[in-house]
Amino acid sequence: MEGLLTTDGTPLAVPDIEREFARAMSAPPADDYPAPPKTPAPDQAASPKPRTRHDKPRTASSRTAAAKPAPASPETDKRRAEASGELLRGGAMVALVLATQTGNDAFKADAVTLDAGADEFGGACAQLARVSPRFAAFIDKSGNGAPYIAFGMACSSIGVQLAVNHKLIPAGMMGTQKPADLIAKMDTGDGPADTA
């Protein structure tokens, strides 16, 4: 059976339906159709709308209350300098991994540049934190991840030295040493203790 059917299986007369549709589309719009009903304006006094977190006014105290920097001290400066320097050293590790993966020497140069500038960058960040409470709060907040960064750096420095040992990257990057120098240190007693 061809053509359109109703849900109960009765065939539809398509030419009749097309003529009815064409007539309805060509007829001028009727003016006697009622407009859709307007929704009444909510009575603000009768039913106050519950506030959501997006309706709350922003206040300076809500943003700065959680961002109070630690008071400046030599210990704080040292911690801030180390945390900031570790961020650059983390970037150096990423650049070194990219260099080994891509073979692009520019990434090696980036790694050396980032590693060489880490201490100076950390000191500058500590100085800036002394004069900018907002920057100090940022450093203190990001410094909470310093133990994780230090752990990652320790793991990656071991990995980098292993890569040097297997001649995947040159010695000297990121504080690595030539394998022969490591062996010589162990032979002279300057290396790790012999566990045998």
What tens digit of pLDDT does each residue of 86-143 get? Answer: 888 888 888 887 887 788 889 989 989 999 999 999 999 999 998 998 988 888 887 6
Model confidence band, residue 195 (pLDDT cutoffs 50, 70, 90): very low
Alpha carbon distance 85, 119 (integer Å): 5
Among residues 82, 86, 66, the alpha carbon closest in space to that of 74 is found at 82
Residue appearing with tokens 């059976």: 1
Model confidence band, residue 172 (pLDDT cutoffs 50, 70, 90): confident
Q: pTM of the full predicted structure?
A: 0.45
The values of phi and psi at residue 129, to 5°, are: -65, -30
Query: Is the four-CA dihedral 171, 174, 175, 179 of positive or negative sign?
Result: negative
The values of phi and psi at residue 5, to 5°, are: -125, 150
DSSP 3-state assignment of 5?
Answer: strand
Alpha carbon distance 89, 111 (integer Å): 8
